[in-house]
Amino acid sequence: MDIQDRLRDLRNQIEYHNKKYFEQNAPEISDYEYDTLLRELEDLEREYPELRTPASPTQHVGEATQGAAGKAVKHDVPMLSLEDKFSRDEVAEWIYKMQKDLDDPSFVVEHKIDGVSVALRYREGKFVQGMTRGDGINYGDDITENLKMIDTVPLKISVKLPYLEVRGEVYMSNEVFEAVNERQEELGEKTFANPRNCTAGTIRMLDPNVVAERNLSILIFNLQAVQGKDFTSHVETLEWLVKQGFQVPKFYKCTTEQQIWEAITQIGESRGDIPYNIDGAVIKVDDLNDRERIGATSKVPKWAIAYKYPPEEKHTKVLNIEVNVGRTGRLTPLAILQPVKLAGTTVARASLHNQDQIDRLDVRIGDTVVVRKAAEIIPEIVSVVPAARPENSEPFIIPDKCPVCGAPAARETLTNRTGSSIRCTNSTCPAQLARLIEHFASRNAMDIEGLGPAVISKLMTNGYIKDLADIYYLKNYRDELIDKAIMGKPHSKKSDTKKSTDKLLNAIEDSKKRSMERLINGFGIPNVGKFSGRVLEDYFPDIWAMTKLSFTEFKEVKKAEEEKGTENLKGLGDIIFKSLVDFFQRPETNEVLQRLEAAGVNMKSTKTTSEVLDTSLQGATFVLTGTLPMLTREEASQLIQAHGGRVTDSVSKNTTYLVAGDKAGSKLQKAQNLGVTILTEADLQAMLQSE
C-alpha cells in the first residue's frame, strides 16, 4: 500500500470511529486503539505535509452538532482538544519546551475524566446556558435544561459576576452506571457498553426528567472566561470555583519533571479506587499569563497536554471455570485465574458471561490468557495464547444440568439483545433460592434488616426456609431458632441470640406493609425489577389481577392503553410480559402467593386502591425526601394521592412541592436551586386541613 492509500485508509477509519464514538455513542475500538490510528496519521502528515488536507480528522476538533436536546449555540471561547502523549519521554520533551520558553513555570496535573465535555455560562450569578463541545470552534448543542437536572451543577453562585463561563466534564459514576444498565435490562432494552457512552446518550436527550433519573455528575476543570474578577493562576481559579459550589478534579501542583511524572504515576495507580472512569492525566501550565504567551493552534492549546495510559494487559492462567447459579436461575461461567495485579488491584476471576463468549474466545481450563480491566474497572479476558495451550485440552461447555440441584438447564435466547442465557429450570433450586431470598430481603425490595447471606444459609440448611413464603412463618419457630443460635454468632450468649432473633422477626413483621412495587421487585422475576414494579403497581389493583392474564392479554391491555393515549404501561414490552406470565403460571408461584397473603403480606396496590377523598391537590406534583416525623413515605404518598396529587421520585422543574424530613439530602438542595416550594410534614397536613 502506498502512502496516499494508507492516508486515505487511516482517514476513513478514523472518521468512521469518530461517528461511532461521538454521534452514535457506540465505539467499536478502545481509546488506545483509536489513539494509535490517529498518531500514525499525524506522523504521516508530518512527514508528507503536501498530502495533508483541510478535511483530515487531524485538522478539526470534536463532532458536528446534533441538535438532539436543543438548538446550536455559538461558542464564545473555543473548546479545544488536547494533544496526547503516550510516554514519559514525550511528556518530558513538552515540559522541557515549556521551561525553555517560560520563566520558571509551575504545572498542574489533574485527572482526565472520561465523560462528555460541556461549557456552562453564568450571568449575575445565575446559570443561564450550557452547551456541548460540538465542533469545538464554532457551535455546540444547547443542553441547558438537561444540565439543570444534574445535582452538582450550581444553578446560582454567591458572587454575582457579570459573566462567567466554565468548562467541565459530565460523567456517570460506576455505581450509577450499573444501576442504569440494570434498569435497561428490566425494560428489555440494550445495555450501555460503558459509563461514557451512557453519559453521552443521556446528556443529549429531549426529556430532562430522564437526565435527572440517571444521576449524572460534573467536574469543572477550567475557567474559560470571566468578567468582574481577576485571576493569576489555574490553581487560584479551581480554589475559587470550589467556594462557589462547583466540584473540581483532584489536582497536583508541580514544578519539576520528576514531580509531574510521580503525579501521573500516582493517578494511574489509583484508577481502581476512583468511583468514576478516567482515561489519562492532564498536565497544564499553571500561570494564566504564561498560557496567553504560549497560545494555541487551531486544534489544541500549546500550554496543556494529556498523558494517555496504555491499557494494562497481563498474561495469567485459567485454573478452572466454575458455573454459578444466580437468583433467576441463570448459569454464569466464571474463570478462576492465577492471581495477577491489574490497575492497582489483584484480579483472580473474570466473568465469561455465557456460552457464546466462551466459544468466541475458545477459552479452556489450563489456557494462558491475556486479561485487562474493561473501562479500567471490570476484569475481562481479551484473548487466549494458543502457543501456551496444554496438550489434550478440551473446549468448555456449560453443562445441560444445573451444577447445584441437577435439574435440566435450558438455553434461552433473547431476540432483542445479543447473547443467550442458560437457566436452571428448577425454581426451588437451593442456589437460586438462597440468592432470591437475599434479593427479596434487600433494601430495594422488602427491606428485611438482618436477613443476610449467612442467616439465610443457616435457615435453609436447617430446613426452615424452602420458599419465599416460609420467611413469614419463622415466628412459629422462635424458640427453636434461639436454641439453635440461627441468628447468633458462635459462642454467643443466649440473651444476645434472643435479642437478634426478635429483631429479625420484628423486621419480617414490618416488611408485610411494604408496597406492591417492592413485593414485585422482590420476586426476582427475570427482566422485572423496581421500575417495572412501580409501573405495574400504578396500573393493577393487586397481584392477583396480573396472575389472570395471558401473554396475549397483557399485550391487548397495553395496546388499549396506547389507543387511549395514556402511558400507564410505558416501558413494559414483550420480554417483561412473557417473564410475568411464565412466573405467575407456575403452580408453585400460586402456592407461594396464597401463603404470603395468608401471612398478612400486602398484595394490593397502594395507588389504585387508595380511597380518593377529594381533588384538592389535583395537578400538584410532590417529591418526598428524608425521614418524616409521623408518617412513612408510603403513608405520605397514599395521603397525597388520596387528595388527587402525584408523587414522583426525582426533583425537576415540574415539581410543585418537596416534602422534606430529617436528613434530607441532595433533593432538598436541588429543589431550593429550582425554586420549588419546600414543605414539612406539618405543612402538608395543614394544607390538607385548610382545603
> Residue 13's domain is classified under what CATH number?
1.10.287.610
Does residue 71 lie in a domain region? no
Range with lowest mean pLDDT among 102-111, 126-135, 342-351, 414-423: 414-423
Length of the chain: 691
**Closest C-alpha to 582, from 515, 519, 528:** 528
Compare 177 and 225 and report the one with higher pLDDT: 225
If asked whether residues 202 and 299 sit together in one domain, one would say yes
Q: Is 601 in contact with 542 (CB distance < 8 Å)?
A: no
Hey, what's the cell of 590?
400460586
**Closest C-alpha to 439, from 330, 310, 554:** 330
Active site residue 112: yes
Q: Residue 660, SS3?
A: strand
**Closest C-alpha to 123, from 76, 168, 161, 153:** 161
If asked whether residues 550 and 660 sit together in one domain, one would say no
- Mean pLDDT computed over 161-182: 89
Query: Could you tell me the CATH number of the domain that includes residue 627?
Result: 3.40.50.10190
Domain closes at, from 288, 307, 326: 307
If asked whether residues 229 and 367 sit together in one domain, one would say no
Looking up cell 481502581, which residue turns up? 272
Separation of alpha carbons 561 and 555, rounded Å: 10
If asked whether residues 146 and 263 sit together in one domain, one would say yes
Per-residue pLDDT band for 62 (boundaries 50, 70, 90) equals low
Residue 489 buriedness (CB in 10 A; 0-12 / 13-18 / 19+): exposed
Q: Is 70 in contact with 143 (CB distance < 8 Å)?
A: yes
Instruction: Specify the pLDDT at position 116.
Output: 92
Looking up cell 487560584, which residue turns up? 236
Q: What is the enclosing helix (H) or strand (E) of 218?
A: strand 217-227
Cross-sheet strand order for the sheet of 278-285 = 83-85, 304-307, 278-285, 107-113, 251-254
Residue 250 buriedness (CB in 10 A; 0-12 / 13-18 / 19+): middle
Task: Write the Ramachandran bin of 510: left for phi over 0, alpha for psi from -120 to 50, otherwise beta.
Answer: alpha
If asked whether residues 479 and 389 sit together in one domain, one would say no
Hey, what's the cell of 469?
413464603
If asked whether residues 233 and 209 sit together in one domain, one would say yes
If asked whether residues 235 and 369 sit together in one domain, one would say no
> Strand pairing partners for 222?
167
Residue 404 reports pLDDT greater than 80: yes
Residue 312 buriedness (CB in 10 A; 0-12 / 13-18 / 19+): middle
| 625 CB-near residues (< 8 Å, 6+ apart) | 658, 659, 660, 661, 664, 665, 667, 668
Looking up cell 485527572, which residue turns up? 111
Separation of alpha carbons 508 and 455, rounded Å: 13
CA 433, 438, 439: angle at the middle one, nearest 5? Answer: 95
φ, ψ of residue 147 in degrees (nearest 5) = -65, -30
Separation of alpha carbons 350 and 75, rounded Å: 45
Residue 3 reports pLDDT greater than 70: yes
Span 366-389, pLDDT tens digits: 999 999 875 555 788 989 999 999
Per-residue pLDDT band for 418 (boundaries 50, 70, 90) equals very low
Compare 285 and 209 and report the one with higher pLDDT: 285
Does residue 95 lie in a domain region? yes
Hey, what's the cell of 452?
443476610
If asked whether residues 378 and 332 sit together in one domain, one would say yes
Instruction: Specify the pLDDT at position 377.
Output: 59
Q: What is the enclosing helix (H) or strand (E) of 170?
A: strand 163-171
Instruction: Specify the pLDDT at position 566.
Output: 64
Q: Kindly state the percentage of the chain with pLDDT values over 70.
A: 88
Query: Could you tell me the CATH number of the domain that includes residue 533?
Result: 1.10.150.20
Query: Could you tell me the CATH number of the domain that includes residue 373?
Result: 2.40.50.140
Q: How many CB atoms lie within 10 A of CB 98?
A: 17
Residue 106 reports pLDDT greater than 70: yes
Instruction: Specify the pLDDT at position 61.
Output: 55
Domain closes at, from 59, 74, 98: 59
Does residue 165 lie in a domain region? yes
Does residue 226 lie in a domain region? yes
Instruction: Specify the pLDDT at position 489.
Output: 62
Average pLDDT value for the chain:
84
Instruction: Specify the pLDDT at position 412.
Output: 66
Per-residue pLDDT band for 432 (boundaries 50, 70, 90) equals confident
Query: Could you tell me the CATH number of the domain that includes residue 159?
Result: 3.30.470.30
DSSP string, 353-395: -SHHHHHHHT--TT-EEEEEEETTTEEEEEEE-GGGPPTT---
**Closest C-alpha to 261, from 96, 36, 377, 31:** 96
Q: How many CB atoms lie within 10 A of CB 6?
A: 13
Span 176-200, pLDDT tens digits: 887 787 776 555 566 676 788 889 8
The dihedral sign for the CA sequence 41, 43, 44, 46? positive
Does residue 605 lie in a domain region? no
Does residue 70 lie in a domain region? no
- Mean pLDDT computed over 476-494: 78
Q: Is 450 in contact with 487 (CB distance < 8 Å)?
A: yes
Catalytic residue among 71, 100, 112, 401: 112
If asked whether residues 448 and 535 sit together in one domain, one would say no
Domain closes at, from 290, 307, 324: 307
CB environment 264-290: b (16+ within 10 A), e (fewer): beebbeebeebebbbbbbbbbbbbbeb
- Mean pLDDT computed over 310-331: 85
Instruction: Specify the pLDDT at position 469.
Output: 94
Residue 87 buriedness (CB in 10 A; 0-12 / 13-18 / 19+): exposed
Give the count of domains, the chain. Answer: 6
If asked whether residues 323 and 435 sit together in one domain, one would say no
Instruction: Specify the pLDDT at position 419.
Output: 47
Residue 215 reports pLDDT greater than 70: yes
Instruction: Specify the pLDDT at position 667.
Output: 82
Residue 423 buriedness (CB in 10 A; 0-12 / 13-18 / 19+): buried
Does residue 411 lie in a domain region? no
Q: Is 160 in contact with 125 (CB distance < 8 Å)?
A: yes
Does residue 231 lie in a domain region? yes
> Strand pairing partners for 253?
108
- Mean pLDDT computed over 400-425: 72
Q: What is the enclosing helix (H) or strand (E) of 674?
A: helix 666-674
Domain containing 554 equals 516-598
If asked whether residues 194 and 262 sit together in one domain, one would say yes
> Strand pairing partners for 57?
none
Residue 174 reports pLDDT greater than 90: no
If asked whether residues 136 and 230 sit together in one domain, one would say yes
Span 230-278, pLDDT tens digits: 999 999 999 999 999 999 999 999 999 999 999 999 998 887 778 888 8
Residue 654 buriedness (CB in 10 A; 0-12 / 13-18 / 19+): middle
